[in-house]
Amino acid sequence: MDDDSMGLNKELDGMTVVSLEQAVAAPYCGLMLADAGARVIKVERPEGDFARGYDAGANGQSAIFAWLNRGKESICLNLKDPEDLAVMHRMLAKADVFVSNLAPGSVARMGLGGAELRRDNPGLITCIISGYGQSGAAAKKKAYDFLIQAESGLCSVTGSAESPARVGLSLTDLSTGLTAFSAILRALIQRGRTGRGIDLEISMFDVLADWMNMPLLAHRYMGGAPARSGLKHSFIAPYGAFECRDGAQVLISVQSNREFAALCRQVLQRPELPEDPRFSENPERYAHRDALDAIVADCFAQFTAAEMVDKLDAAQIANAQLNSVADLSDHPFLRNSVAQIGDCDVSLAALPVTSHAGPGQKVPNLGAQTEALRAEFKA
């Protein structure tokens, strides 16, 4: 069988991406493009992307930077200098895609707007990532991941009943990077039909607002957004975390009457519960959640987490252990990959879509390809 039929393999080979990027959102988009086989040229200030200083866990260099920037080339340019700006223009004249997540208006002020660039390169696709948008009051508001989580209402539906919380990772940045990647792929397909590039504008707020549609629709059409409920569900029971004899917690998710009957019969040893009017249907189970949770908690407390997981698996009840990050690090299902930054190998979770190409595992030192790229794109 042909290797190409076995999976993705450098599907963007031959494409050049110039990415004027920093932090997380645009670099994550660039990582996806590099994994697909594109050549990604990361343009950095002379002092470098500030994400290089996020941590010093990789022998003095940033492990987080390594995760986001493996497989790229790095060129240092001072875009306030006319000669360096000219290098940027020459790279973009031969590029397929231009990505940027600088402050709104920055690329236009440097003469790097899509319409101007396509005079020399009609097929160029530009993708500009912003916090709230490129015009009006939205363009003036500074934005970071946590701030967008708060502004979009995500924090209001995250956390315990007593306190809102942020999601414990850079959800806004990562979802925006994925959205940008998807939009660029669509634009490349369209260019294959039309021969013309287009401008893409993606705001972090728009991305998270779309992901917030479930609570937004509940607010508009179902009597109100769901209340914060920690590890419990806002309208399903039994659903949540229960402590076992060894102190570990196991979560269950019972989605149907059939699953509830199996839970009662095979795990709780209470086959009569589905006939109890309080527990016969999910709305009744939810209305009497405290009483039902007490029954479940009494059962779970008699077994270790491992024993309870075995019982739940045998009954085909969806479950998960409430793991720590340390538990994830040793998880039997975790696939790892390695990125090399400087003289340090960084072990990280592998990308979820398997690619034969994969990003080059080398992380570029600051400006590592500057001289070579200047020579390649000289006047």
- The C-alpha atoms of residue 229 and residue 219 are separated, in whole angstroms, by 16
- The two tokens of residue 329 are 């690090």
- The C-alpha atoms of residue 294 and residue 286 are separated, in whole angstroms, by 13
- The C-alpha atoms of residue 211 and residue 234 are separated, in whole angstroms, by 17
**Secondary structure of 36-96 in the HEC alphabet?**
CCCEEEEEECCCCCHHHHCCCCECCECHHHHHHHCCCEEEECCCCCHHHHHHHHHHHHCCC
Residue with tokens 């607010």: 219
Which of 129, 180, 170, 177 has the alpha carbon at shortest distance from 147?
A: 170
How distant, in Å, are the alpha carbons of 100, 132, 194, 234, 308 from that of 320? 39, 36, 48, 18, 10
Chain centroid offset of residue 129 CA: 15
In the annotation, is 288 catalytic?
A: no
Which member of 233, 288, 331, 356 is catalytic? 233
Angle at 37 between CA 9 and CA 196, to 5 degrees: 110
- Spatial contact of 73 and 33, defined as CB atoms under 8 Å apart: no
* Number of helices followed by number of strands (H, E) in the chain: 16, 12
- Spatial contact of 112 and 92, defined as CB atoms under 8 Å apart: yes
Catalytic residue ranges: 233
